[in-house]
Copies of this chain bind each other. A is one copy, B any other.
């Protein structure tokens, strides 16, 4: 079993997102785990899982359908993006190795270039160039900037395809990585600088917590701003640690947290870790959860009423 989390550059037109989801779920063996669309980001995140070959097939079909239906020359949204299907990570589940997902990523990239005609960059564990490990480095300049730069600067060339980007679908950034928690905290202020300052304070790249990526966004449709985070290793930096830091940093600026949101799914262990942390539970471990304890003792989990 592996998971795949395509991020597509359409968060407003449901018809387009439905069509992409439909080609994914039409593949036998695919389980649609979650989907979410954000109008301010103008972006949708689709989470699905299944056996490796089924996930590969569904991912390629999603890339083809995205290129057919999304025109980046017309796209506006607060979230950075390079492609119609912008990011395509493969994630190991269960006992699957990360290297299996690297292989699937490379095969998916090859088929996307051959079958959709969209160039491909590889990132994280699937990266083929040292400077392309980090998604934000690959995506720097976004669609508008990079489509000019690729013809001027050879080091900007895609890993597969090119020499130019696709005129309307840009490029797909395909990768393999560990499970990532996408966690946003919305603040009761319209002052974007507050979100940007807090994002800068918590993210790894500017000296914050390890394994945290963060950006500050405006949410004009909600009159709020957002600290939008990816936690790439919740053992290094748990959910509650960034939550408490953001609450404190916002309070120092006289701003309250409105609410937080998970984009996609979260591992059970990460959520339990957050509960134990925020409740200040001493000596907590997952065996204190009755269903987990019973499962461990090889009984079927009961449903508690």
A residues sitting closer than 8 Å to B (CB atoms) are 1, 3, 31, 33-34, 49, 92-95, 178-179, 185, 239-240, 243, 257-262, 265-269, 271-272, 274-275, 278-284, 287-294, 297, 299, 302-305
Contact = CB atoms under 8 A, between A and B. Distances in A.
Main SS of the interface on chain A?
mixed
Contacts of A34: 287-288, 293
Contact of A239 (B1, B267, B279): B279
Given A280-B259, A281-B260, A281-B262, A289 B274 contact: no
25 contacts: A1-B302, A33-B293, A33-B294, A34-B287, A49-B294, A49-B299, A93-B302, A258-B280, A259-B282, A260-B281, A261-B281, A262-B281, A262-B284, A262-B288, A265-B289, A265-B290, A266-B289, A266-B290, A267-B291, A268-B290, A271-B272, A275-B275, A275-B278, A278-B278, A278-B279
A103 to B, nearest CB: 18
B279 A267 contact: no
Given A259-B280, A294-B33, A303 B95 contact: yes
Contact of A304 (B179, B302, B303): B179
Which of A239, A280, A303: most chain B CB closer than 10 A? A280
Given A289-B271, A294-B49, A260 B243 contact: no
A50 to B, nearest CB: 9
Q: How many copies does the complex hold?
A: 2
Contacts of A93: 290, 294, 302, 304
A269 B304 contact: yes
Contacts of A304: 93-94, 179, 267-269
Contacts of A261: 281-283
A291 B33 CA distance: 10
A303 B33 contact: no
Nearest to A2: B302
Contacts of A240: 278-279
A33 B278 CA distance: 24
Given A31-B299, A261-B283, A280-B257, A267 B294 contact: no
Nearest to A281: B260
A76 to B, nearest CB: 25
A139 B236 CA distance: 47
Contacts of A31: 294, 297, 299
A281 to B, nearest CB: 5
A222 to B, nearest CB: 11
